[in-house]
Structure 1
Amino acid sequence: MDFQSFVDTFSAMTCIISIEKLSDVHFGNIRLVAGNKAYISSIEDTKNNMIANQMVSNKFIPDSPYENYIPKDLNFEDKCYRCAVLKKPSHEYIHPERYSFWLDMYFMPLESDVPNKFYCSYSQQVTIKADSGMMSNLSAETSSAVIETCIKLRGTKNFKHTMDEVIDDIRAICDAKLSCILLTNEQERTCSVLCQSSAPDVHVIPMDQYVNEVFDNFYDIVETWKDTIAGSTCLIIKDQYDMGVLKERNPIWFDSMQGADVNSLVLFPLEYNDILLGYIWAINFDINNTMKIKEILEITSFFLASEISNYQLFNKLEIMSSVDQLTGTYNRNAMNNRIIRFVSEKDPKPNCYSVVFADLNGLKQANDTNGHIAGDTLLKNAAKKLMEVFPECEIYRAGGDEFMIIAVDLPEKLIFDRVERLRIESENPNNISFALGHYFDDQGEDIRVAMRTADERMYADKERYYAKFPERKRK
């Protein structure tokens, strides 16, 4: 066939791809045999074509390996093999990490008269932004699975519980032995398991245990995944050839997967607004369903990333509205809300409770003498001390140098002994010093009475403290 004349009949960017078949499951070089003017321009015209600016090489040479133009991509190779050798046409709309645009890709098988050499045509169109119409062009099975996931996510009041259900569904659809969503924090270099699901007949180490105990820092491996995906949309390992590529790219990760008896893997990054939130994966699945699994996870990960981002944003806003950013204790807003819930009995009524007021001595002197940075350091150390003394209690920063502690269903003597210990320590000028007031209630009184009484006792303690140490009185 005159491939050049054939591709020249296309107006869209089109090329002919050849693939050498070495055995039933292995193949050799994948080459770009010929390209029409639009396709060659996408490689060579760096001045007017944005694709050309993102190619590895800008000189199109007929019958050259595809790796001359894009990095080795197992997904691209698999699509070429399925189309050219297995005669399965395919269409895909994707956003590879290596590009700043979306690709609408079409593969069509062609006949060949050369033994063990197969051909397909490849056409592509480019969109700068995601086209929802193209993204929704899915099979009925995939659409049903994605819609069910979206309905669960939209209607949930318990995000964690719903994610457990979603990952169970994904594992079942993929017929995989294990599925998991791992969240990452690039700034803190940490990762955490959001949810996981394993088949009933599979006994594996829970992923959170694997992440936290098997490795000193699992993030060291996780941060290599992006380079291993190598700018593609995902990573698919389905046979020993793919495992060989993984071993070459990432030997440490390869060894860890061998140790976990992983023989197949599909891994997708979860990204939202160009921010990596984590990864979703399925392992040890029926490789005959690879393309279906890829299609389902590809579109599902798009919606999951959006929901996870919203969930994390909500948590951040909730923390900002309830946590004092300087000391890490709860703030006055959280304290007021807690008191309202206490009084209205929206929170369970305790059998007993204690209220402790702790006013930090010496903050004004620290600010006046050494500046506000020293004052902030003193406040942070004071909060840390209270957290150490009252680890199971609620600690609030009620004002500038004043903290309130609520202890629920703890014995009066336990809290009293801690307050007295802290009061004795406060008299040492080398220690952090507090004026303290304590009130215990086991009669179901109004907590506002307890707060007022504890506050009065705290001020009485402050007067006692300055009477004993007049030289430390603020001026």
Structure 2
Amino acid sequence: MNTDPGNPIYREDDKRDYILGHFSQALDERWIEVYYQPIMRAMTGLICNEEALARWVDPVNGMILPEEFIPVIEDAKLLHKLDLYMIDQVLSDIRQYQDGKIVQIVPISVNVSKYDFEYCDMVYEILKRVEAAGVSPKYLVIEIAESVLELEHDFIKEQLNKLQSYGFKIWMDDFGRGYGSLNVLQDFDFDLIKLDMKFMKDFSKKVKTAGIIRKIVEMAEQLGVDTLAEGVETEEQLEFLREIGCDKVQGFLYSKPNPLNEILKRSDMGIGLYRENIEESEFYDQVGQASLTDMELNGDAGMLVAETFAGIGIGILEFDGGETYRLMRANAVYKEYLETIYGRNIKVSDVITYTDKDRKRVFDESVRRCLKSGNWETAYDIVSTDKVKFNTNIRLFSRDKVTGNYAILIVMVSEKRVEGEGSDRFSDTLKEDISLNPPSFENVVPPVEDIDLQSEKEALERNNVLDSAIIRIAKLLNTFEDYNETMNRVLEELGSVISPDRICIFERVGDKINNPFELCRKGIISQKEYTQNLEYNKYFKLWADLSVDGRAVNLDSISRIRVSYRDVYCQLKLMGVKRIIVVPVFSKDEVIGFIAAANYRLDESDDTEFLLSSVAVFLSYKIANSTLVHRLVYMADNDALTSAHNRYAMIKKEAELAAGEGCVGVGFIDINGLKEINDNLGHDEGDLLIIRASKLIAKHFGMEHLYRVGGDEFVVLAPDMEKYVFERKQYQFRQELEDNDKVSMASGFVWIPDRRKVSEAIKTADRLMYEDKAKFYVAHDRRRSHKEYV
């Protein structure tokens, strides 16, 4: 900004007056421009995101810096207008270039503040803008300031969870500055935290800073949260961040913020930074989540427990399936090992060539075995000295669906612990031993043989084993023995011919999945506690949606559903699931259950899918009979058409509330125009309208709080819901209703602090609903066509 004392806004008061007086004009005439600063993926050096930053380019006073105008706007409670303006501009840019013909679009983060949630319905505003722009939520990242977390805990958590449910990622800015703490990560489900820039500023000045950064990254890693370091300016900082597993970096080492036209200009000239293909982001995200310190986080608890680890060297190599290996990630121990072996400094993204013929063949064969089996394979002959023998354990970790390349997890172990003299670095001992005794390479991998008649014979025998198992299971399921015992015996039969970590059978009753049966491979801990009484729509419906003609869904990496089905992804990750096959079980075209196998062997993939699909057919009758009793109990309290609670259930709930203490929110809602629909289009169309209305109500108030008490009448009973939360839900419900051209409803809402007066509140809500309905019929003459009501 021009600091000339003659400038009319040089003085603080004049500056404030100028900014406030011209803010609306700056938005209307776009004096405030969007500058984009690239965010780089640490392991690849490619742009994986960009951050949108506001720059006020004033026609009179030149550049007004953010630190000058944003505090003024914030103090005037106008910051939400700037944030919404920035979202509009970013969406416009994404829409213009999202075809990738001019520049590869990456997800862009936009900043939001607490005022956005206080002065407008931010979730609604974002959704409205994204839908109008025709832009996928995956391209827009919501970056919240720490001040947002000062708002009421349950409210802001609900808002952030709702955004994530629509596919937006939520980042927390400036973690470690103030309010941001360990409790924040426990209370909120962030996709990423941005380390405050002060850490990088103090990196070379304070010895403790590196330790703090390392611990934050490790903590985030354990919670499944990505990390981004701001203010990266040196190669030393970058290498440290790569070593400790920081996922993304941002700073002047790569680029300052630039306007879009400058970015496009550099791209046209071929001098810009290279960008990541968004279709590969799942692959890189999964590799970034691998722990280089705690193997249990990689789903391998108990792996190689008989071995003694030498400092645990852990890394990930990218393999193209041919001859090329590239280092993607490595902890300090594994890097020391590589540098010792190859006699040079090896950085992330460097290509590693196994030049020794025997060693290369042994390593490659081990890699190819693990790609086939999906299990751990060991190259026993990597380095052997008098003091210690280093072995490399290899497992397929992920695969890039764009390039087809593999991410190979490497864990280096030793058969005895190294105790170096004068140094605790095992690489020093390794160097000393290698200089005295050249490493030995013993080929323990059997030679690859051509497929012959013996192989064909083995394949036929395998098919006979599978067929026999299916026949035995079919007989079991057609007996009248105890249901639970039968199901467990079915799992045992399956476990005798395939060997996933666990095989499960689930039943569906109404909107819940319960009564799970599970068989675990030896050494695998049961996860039944995580699969009790789960919501069908939230955790299981996706398997029916993904299934084609009722066939098996084979998910070779759960990262494929990380964005689209976040709740299911988190649930599976919590259970240590890396890959899974799920087959829906049908009865009269209705899903009544599922059979699944988690962490199956890759070389048994086809067999596992075939077996589960076959058994699902025979399970249908058994589960249908078992769930009949459960269904009768369910139908006693639930409406068959909408799955909402029925009038009988409401009467019981009303009595329960009247006998207790606490607050309750009450709603009475009636569908407009249902009679006209039934009379003109028939009751099938009327039923569709009722279902559509119930889903809309449940979306905002929850199915657990919804009761269908008549043909077109619904009641909402929401106990222990704070007044402001209940009122906000009303507002959001009515806002969506106004924009909905397929259903119209009249509604009345009441919140009371004393639930003992719930019956009176229901009557009041009923009266308010009829007042609202009267307004509808004043505006819509009853004699008009039904089309005006729907």
- TM-score, scaled relative to structure 1: 0.41
- TM-score, scaled relative to structure 2: 0.27
Q: Which has the higher contact order (CA 8 A, sep 6+)?
A: 1
